[in-house]
Amino acid sequence: MTAAGTRASAPETLQEAVDRVLRVPDEHRTFTKDAAFAEETWAIGPGLLEALLDHGLPHRGPAGRRRFERTDLHNISTYLNLPSPYFRALARKARAMDEAARSGEPHRHRLELTAQCAGPGHAAPCAFEPVPGLAAHSVPGSLRHTAPGTFTVEARLPSDTYVFDDDRSELLSLVADWELYVLPDGVIEDEDFSRRTRLANCLIPTRLLLREAARRGIRARHGAGLLVAPPFTTLHHWIEFELDGVWRAADPVLLTAFARWGMTDPAAWPYNRSVAGIVWHLLTWPPEVFFPVVRDHGRQAPLHITAR
Q: Where are the domains of the chain?
A: 3-83, 84-308
Local structure of 198: helix, strand or coil: coil
* Single-letter amino acid code for the residue at 140: P
Note the helical H segments in 144-190: 166-172
For residue 2, the model assigns a pLDDT of: 45
pLDDT at 1: 41
Q: What percent of the chain has pLDDT over 90?
A: 84
Q: Is it the case that residue 51 has pLDDT exceeding 50?
A: yes
pLDDT at 86 over 70: yes
Q: Rounded to an integer, what distance in angstroms lies between the CA atom of residue 140 and that of residue 273?
A: 28
Asked whether the predicted pLDDT for residue 76 surpasses 90, the reply is yes
The HSE-up count of residue 64 (CA atoms within 13 Å, CB side) is 0
Write the pLDDT tens digit of every residue in 194-250.
Answer: 999 999 999 999 999 999 999 999 999 999 999 998 888 999 999 999 999 999 999
> Residue 38 contacts by C-beta under 8 Å, 6 or more apart in sequence?
44, 49, 68, 73
